[in-house]
Structure 1
Amino acid sequence: MFRGSYVTQIDEKFRLKVPADFKRHIDEEYGTQFFITSKDGKRAEIFPMKAWLEKEEKMKTVSDLNPAKKRYMEMTSYYGQVVEMDAAGRLLMPQKLREAASLTEEVVVIGMQTTLAVENHEKLKPTIVPMTAEELKALEELGL
């Protein structure tokens, strides 16, 4: 499971070096192939291929006429690209997504259980605010 966050850089060849703790988990649990995409163009979502294939299987159960599914598929296909991790643990960030999300400077890589989220660190910082009472109540109702 991916947990925590790490601040890092996208290199001059637009590659993200996966933080060591996440790389260890990848080596133990997943292969070297990933699907990198986004739902909004503001953050990259890195899915080990195993996790992406599980998501695709779930999507097959939803009607193609469902507008949310259609929109999700459009966005993730537009930004998405299959990427192979190199021997040094680097992933090439897809150009459209890199440009849309400003992933050319310092970034933060956030563990999201089975995926990694990557955001421009300076743009993310102002959005990290305490959870609202409503959010905390919703989590409590979910037993979390």
Structure 2
Amino acid sequence: MFRGNHPTRVDEKGRLKLPAEFKRRVDELYGPQFYITSMDGKRAQVYPLKEWEQIEASLSKMSPMDPVRKKFQDVTNFYGQMAEMDAQGRVLIPQKLRELAKVTGEVNVLGSQTLLEVVNAELFDAEMKKASGAVELTDADLMAFADKTKAVA
């Protein structure tokens, strides 16, 4: 499970050096292959290949004619590319995704359970801070979370 926020950089060649804590987890459980994509062009999503293959297995259970499957594949293929971690623990973020999501220079790498999300540090900070200047969950956010997690349990 990937957790937390680890600020780092995407270098001038578009390579993301995995933060040490995440790299340890990748080395322990997954190996060097990844599928890097996005659902919306705002965040790069770095899936260990084993996790992405589980998504593909779910997709294979759907009809190839299903419009939801088709759109999902179109979007994730548009942004996506395979990547392999090099000896220094770096993965190449696809150029189209780097440009659209602005994931160059200073970025935050967010643990999101089975994947890593890479966001532009400045844009993410601005998005997260409310009028008060604090990053917070409101009472309404917490209530919605409680309702949704009850439905899953």
Deviates more, 1:32-41 or 1:56-65: 56-65
- Give the whole-Å Cα distance in 1 for the aligned partners of 2:61 and 2:136: 36
Residue of structure 2 in register with 1:107 after alignment: 107
Could you list the per-position Cα deviations for residues 3-57 of structure 1 after superposition, in whole angstroms to 9, with x for gaps in the alignment? 0011111112210000000000001000100000001111000000000000100
TM (norm. structure 2) is: 0.88
Bigger drift between 18-27 and 54-63 goes to 54-63
Cα distance per residue 1:55-92 (max 9 Å; x no partner): 10011122333332221111100110000100110001
Worse-superposed segment, 111-120 or 68-77: 68-77
Percent sequence identity is 49
Secondary structure of the 2:35 match is strand
User: SS of the counterpart of 2:126?
Assistant: helix
5+ residue gaps, structure 1, are none
Residue of structure 2 in register with 1:130 after alignment: 136
Report the aligned-residue RMSD.
1.5
Shift of 1:97: 0.4
Whether 2:153 is the aligned partner of 1:140: answer no
2:144 aligned counterpart, secondary structure: helix
Q: For 1:135, give the aligned amino acid.
A: D
**Pairs within 5 Å for 1:61-80:** 61-80=61-80
Partner of 2:26: 26
Query: The residue matched to 1:119 in structure 2 has which SS?
Result: strand
CA distance in 1, matches of 2:93, 2:146: 36
What is the match of residue 116 of structure 2? 116
Q: Which residue of 2 aligns with 1:54?
A: 54
Q: Distance in 2 between matches of 1:111 and 1:92?
A: 18
Q: Output the CA distance in 2 between the equivalents of 1:66 and 1:139.
A: 30
- How many residue pairs get aligned? The number is 144
- SS of the residue corresponding to residue 8 of structure 2 reads strand
Per-residue deviation, 1:132:
4.0
Distance 1:127 1:68 in 2: 29
Is there any run of 5+ residues in structure 2 with no aligned partner, and where? 129-134
| Higher CA-based Rg | 2
